[in-house]
Structure 1
């Protein structure tokens, strides 16, 4: 297996390079079909780029995926950016990454406007009750699916359990949990501990199936520290200059400054995908900033599940409501649009930084057991964090009242049993049956629960 980048990978004249227009159209197709979370999005990308177009080999695609999973942020969007970079360098990466986000951004913007305008109307409220119940079942399914993949031995189960206890009972910051798990995994990998050995290795089965595909890729230069520094500097300026300008112009207490700073921080700690960080985002948006109510985060998650693109687009919904409700002298809807655009900018701009600065070096990461072990431990911790998210969501979906019990350094949300919402419980059980027994997809499950909730509202 090749472990170092060659000085140059050239394009043989017998195999023409992929045209920029063809590549752009392919990534537009991927973006419009990117429903179903990262698993579905990555599957669509693989089918189009590896199997159908044969532009990228199986081995290169899987290696790129492993690299993206090491990074903070939405791995599917970063994988699309990386594949576009392979085909047409920075221009290709920009087009692929932006196209991957665009359909979901437009859809979430339209839905956020409708929600802000009509979210308290009876039928609309019933619609979102159904979406909440379905999303709760989807989150539980995510815990089980990721847990089966990540918790391969007792050490991984212990890391997941410790992460859950730390965040659920003690309110430990998510970045601290990620850092602790990563350091433990890295140390275990370096020492060759059997629980961490082989964690996260690339599955290279069938790597030669489309081995000739890589011959049509762009020229890949030898990695350069100077080039990486310049690339990182430009990307940092593009990402953080608007943040600095807002802080300078309006101060740290302005809603736009708060949005820019908060979601910029989120962009660098979102290891493990959107589910892993949503509990933290929800708790901060509700408890610290007062931008929204607990149930509204579930509404936004339900909307994000119905749209193409990364699930992390739910942060756009949070930014919209935050600016909408603190519009000041601006029209609330215009303020919401500005807040949503700002949130999307600071959430996704760092993704291009990680890929453009790091992609030339990824061959040197191939086979690095310590880094793979760190990723494996982080993924195990993420299972515990997602379980916390599921419990937090369940409390606020199924019960109208939740009270906090604190003492001895612990802080625990306890439901008021008498406030159980019978309709929400029935819809949740329906969603569980649809996902686990009938094997329905995300969109049919959301539609089923939304229709059931609206029907119950009409019946009265």
Structure 2
């Protein structure tokens, strides 16, 4: 089969699929690391989409409930190859994490913590820091075109990192400030220097677009709702309405459509309900599940698969423990991510049609600036909890943040992080190459420690 561009394809679908597969193998480090990978591969290296178009899509995705990085991949896939591209990009973004989490959940249930797994996490976790910092610097350099935007980015970072301001509040304020300063931002955008390197290979006007219509909206919404609810309905028919699989499908399906506030905000809610209300796992196991999600490819919300696996394994109902665990993992993953596809396929045509609206563009530009602060705050959170084993919570008035305890510094993680920074910044290695080297070294350390 040739790579001939078909209708709605601005990049050959086979070529785009290969690119999305490579992206999916490098989606470590939560949304910050995942956005960094897409920024580097799609904007910087392949130049399939321009910087401002990429940031516009990112701004829209941050407004939606659910994993914004996976939604961003779905959105960009839609721009490049229509609905087929959206499905390919969105599914591949999740698939490696699904497989990895399924395997690691089975290993955990069978053996518990192992030195080899700890070694793998030691290699990947700190190395991700370099990728995240690289993303912050690149996006900031290209999007901070006005002092207002710089102030928004810094304010967002401080609000999230040190005052625990809810994420939706930050976005709302950023959008209002951007809209208020729309004239100044339009002037600065017009006089801003062009992106580094050559222009994107695919001009904005050539990217995919669908005409919004009530018929299309009804079709996407109807098909999406049926697909979203079908596995849970089937499980209820086969296993009974009170089974663990059905309870998990209903709970996580509902959580997927109200998960505003970023991954950590929704995972705090999931942890409280899964541990204290349903008793699917212990608090310590919830922490271990989050650690697994942070050091495997895919969105952080993949931790729900770990929760489902353990809960169904321990209360399998009519199924065997292993069958119940696998079925629950797949059902929960399905109901968690299907809404994200619906949100993009439903809303993207309308958002694209309004892309030239000065007020909306300015509001989304403000949100983009806030996202720089959001990624920076996630990088700080990730650094503190990766490089140190213990922290002290500081709460004084409106202040709320964790201070690492120097006595708990993990020197092996610091060394691995330094290696990651050296490979990414000094040697200018690719993300995949950097992660591979650090993973091998971490595994080596884990094997040596096991003897």
Give me the CA root mean square deviation.
4.5
1:347-358 equivalences in 2 (<5 Å): 347-358=336-347
> 1:386: which partner in 2?
375
Return the offset for 1:104. 5.0
> 1:3: which partner in 2?
none
Return the offset for 1:245. 9.9
Cα distance in 2 for residues equivalent to 1:32 and 1:94: 13
**Is 1:323–1:335's contact at 8 Å kept on the other side of the alignment?**
no
> Quick one: structure 1 residues 448 and 100, their matched pair in 2 at CA, closer, same or farther if it must change by over 3 Å?
closer
> 1:75: which partner in 2?
72
Cα deviation 1:188-232 (Å, max 9, x = unaligned): 22xx1347753899x899999878x96xx99x8754235424533
> 1:141: which partner in 2?
134
**Is 1:434–1:440's contact at 8 Å kept on the other side of the alignment?**
yes
> 2:308: which partner in 1?
323
> Quick one: structure 1 residues 92 and 381, their matched pair in 2 at CA, closer, same or farther if it must change by over 3 Å?
closer
Cα distance in 2 for residues equivalent to 1:243 and 1:179: 34
Q: TM-score, normalised by structure 2?
A: 0.73
**Is 2:105–2:309's contact at 8 Å kept on the other side of the alignment?**
no
User: Is 1:159 paired with 2:148?
Assistant: no
- The DSSP-based 3-state class of the residue aligned with 2:394 is strand
> Quick one: structure 1 residues 240 and 380, their matched pair in 2 at CA, closer, same or farther if it must change by over 3 Å?
farther
> 2:214: which partner in 1?
225
> Quick one: structure 1 residues 80 and 242, their matched pair in 2 at CA, closer, same or farther if it must change by over 3 Å?
same
Cα deviation 1:367-415 (Å, max 9, x = unaligned): 2222222222112212222222222222222222222222323322122
> 2:189: which partner in 1?
198
**Is 1:31–1:103's contact at 8 Å kept on the other side of the alignment?**
no
> Quick one: structure 1 residues 447 and 184, their matched pair in 2 at CA, closer, same or farther if it must change by over 3 Å?
same
- The equivalent position to 1:440 in structure 2, one of 424, 429, 441, is 429
Cα deviation 1:131-178 (Å, max 9, x = unaligned): 222123332333223222333332122212222222223322212222
> 1:414: which partner in 2?
403
Cα deviation 1:100-133 (Å, max 9, x = unaligned): 6445544543344345545611222122122222
> 2:102: which partner in 1?
109
> Quick one: structure 1 residues 157 and 335, their matched pair in 2 at CA, closer, same or farther if it must change by over 3 Å?
farther
- The equivalent position to 1:182 in structure 2, one of 175, 178, 187, is 175
Return the offset for 1:31. 3.5
- The DSSP-based 3-state class of the residue aligned with 2:381 is helix
**Is 2:394–2:400's contact at 8 Å kept on the other side of the alignment?**
yes
Cα distance in 1 for residues equivalent to 2:88 and 2:446: 44
Cα distance in 2 for residues equivalent to 1:415 and 1:344: 34
> Quick one: structure 1 residues 63 and 295, their matched pair in 2 at CA, closer, same or farther if it must change by over 3 Å?
same
- The DSSP-based 3-state class of the residue aligned with 1:198 is helix
Cα distance in 2 for residues equivalent to 1:133 and 1:48: 24
Moved more, 41-50 or 174-183: 41-50
Cα distance in 2 for residues equivalent to 1:92 and 1:380: 28
- The DSSP-based 3-state class of the residue aligned with 2:163 is coil
Cα distance in 2 for residues equivalent to 1:167 and 1:246: 40
> 1:8: which partner in 2?
none
Cα distance in 2 for residues equivalent to 1:321 and 1:125: 17
> 1:170: which partner in 2?
163
Cα distance in 2 for residues equivalent to 1:75 and 1:232: 19
- The equivalent position to 1:303 in structure 2, one of 288, 296, 313, is 296
> 1:400: which partner in 2?
389
The answer for unaligned runs of 5 or more in structure 2 is 27-33, 276-280
> 2:29: which partner in 1?
none
Cα distance in 2 for residues equivalent to 1:121 and 1:206: 48
**Is 2:37–2:431's contact at 8 Å kept on the other side of the alignment?**
no
Cα distance in 2 for residues equivalent to 1:332 and 1:283: 27
> Quick one: structure 1 residues 142 and 419, their matched pair in 2 at CA, closer, same or farther if it must change by over 3 Å?
same
> Quick one: structure 1 residues 84 and 114, their matched pair in 2 at CA, closer, same or farther if it must change by over 3 Å?
farther
> Quick one: structure 1 residues 209 and 222, their matched pair in 2 at CA, closer, same or farther if it must change by over 3 Å?
same
